[in-house]
Amino acid sequence: LHCGIKRRKPDLGWIVADEPCVAAGVYTQNRVHAPCVDLTRAAIQRASRLQAVVCNSGNANVCTPRAATDAAEIQARAAALLGIPAGLVAVAQTGVIGEPLPMDAVRQGLARLPAVTSREGGDAFAEAILTTDTHAKQWGAECVLEEGCVVRIGAAAKGSGMIHPQMATMLAFITTDAAVEPGALQALLREATERTFNAITVDGDTSTNDMVIALASGRVAPGGTALAPGRSGWDRFAGAFEAVCDRLARAIAADGEGATRMITVVVEGAPDEAAARQVARTVAGSPLVKTAVHGADANWGRILAAVGRSGLPVDPARVDIDLGPLAVCRGGLGVPYDEAEASAYLRGAEVEITIRLGMGEARARAYGCDLSPEYVRINASYRT
């Protein structure tokens, strides 16, 4: 619903479960972070259980004298409305940094939330968590673990600017009716985040409030036992879980502030997956690569230069680069290609850059977007 943090758009929502759920979370690594991050981390660490997540957009509630007090009050009020312990409520917030949260508006909004809460409220929640996003981001999956046993995964996310690996200005909430052991869910969320949400970049900045929370209700338990590595159905569930995260991560990258194209960087031939991710993220985050894509300029030298500064000891003489179907670099040297064809490819909605390092068998990918004048306009007047 709209409570008054923003001028007109929805800015307050919650996810409520019938009973406590197994919970897991990952959070921003920025040393400057909002009290709601500490509050939510503590709630999950205490018992690996949550029953509700309340989220506001339009104000990050960080770097103000009352930020911690206000976050704790939101948690307590939401818990009282639901008749559950405060420790079962997570708080997520996003928006402008350093401005006081209008708590009178939030209090009134919280009081109105129960009346508008329903099983059909997913679309409204996805809208309420947005900031500069141009559209809501949701995805889901059904996964057949064994005959007659189907689990569901549903998720919503927000993110558009201040996006970079090690958590970006993004929030994501993932729910499933599967029974999952607490440690297994935490490990799965961390691993999936590393390959998806931590593989996106828009502008090289990370923010103060980022978190991804997963809730597992336990209503579906194959064979009467909770899912965990090594047990029947785990690999299928883990694959579906990561696929949902990946789809949301791609949606965030594609919706980067001012973006006109999505960029996928695929790195192959790395000594290990971590090294491949390191190179892919460096290229995807390069302002020079991003602006070249925006200008439809097949400037492969910028890509090779970004590979060279990634921190991996690459041998340029072994590096190949493709822009989509076009070979532009072989062994660190340019090869003949049709400039007009390359430019036309770079004008498409999605651009894929493939880099082969010749150092091993591992591969990884990163997602980004082009850098346009519109990004400057949005962020030059973000508060106004």
User: Vertex 58, ends 55 and 62: CA angle to 5°?
Assistant: 80
Main-chain phi, psi angles of 104, to 5 degrees: -60, -45
In the three-class reduction of DSSP (H, G, I as helix; E, B as strand; rest coil), residue 120 is classed as coil
Out of 40, 169, 201, 264, the active site residue is: 169
In the three-class reduction of DSSP (H, G, I as helix; E, B as strand; rest coil), residue 338 is classed as coil
- Laid out side by side, the sheet with 89-96 consists of 89-96, 49-59, 12-27, 211-220, 170-178, 149-159, 137-146
List the alpha helices (DSSP H) in the chain. Answer: 35-47, 67-82, 103-116, 122-128, 182-195, 234-254, 273-284, 287-294, 300-308, 339-346, 373-380
What CA–CA distances, in Å, run from 134 to 126, 207, 359? 12, 19, 40
DSSP assignment, residue 228?
Answer: -
| Cα–Cα distance for residue pair 364/281, rounded to 1 Å | 9
- 8 Å CB contact between 262 and 349: yes
Contacts of 3 (CB under 8 A, 6+ apart): 11, 12, 56, 105, 106, 108, 109, 110, 112
- Angle formed by the axes of helices 35-47 and 67-82, nearest 10°: 50
| Cα–Cα distance for residue pair 44/186, rounded to 1 Å | 10
Partner residues linked to 58 by β-bridges:
95
Question: Could you confirm whether 169 is annotated as catalytic?
Answer: yes
Partner residues linked to 280 by β-bridges:
none
Tokens of 2: 């709209």
Partner residues linked to 22 by β-bridges:
49, 216
Catalytic residues: 169
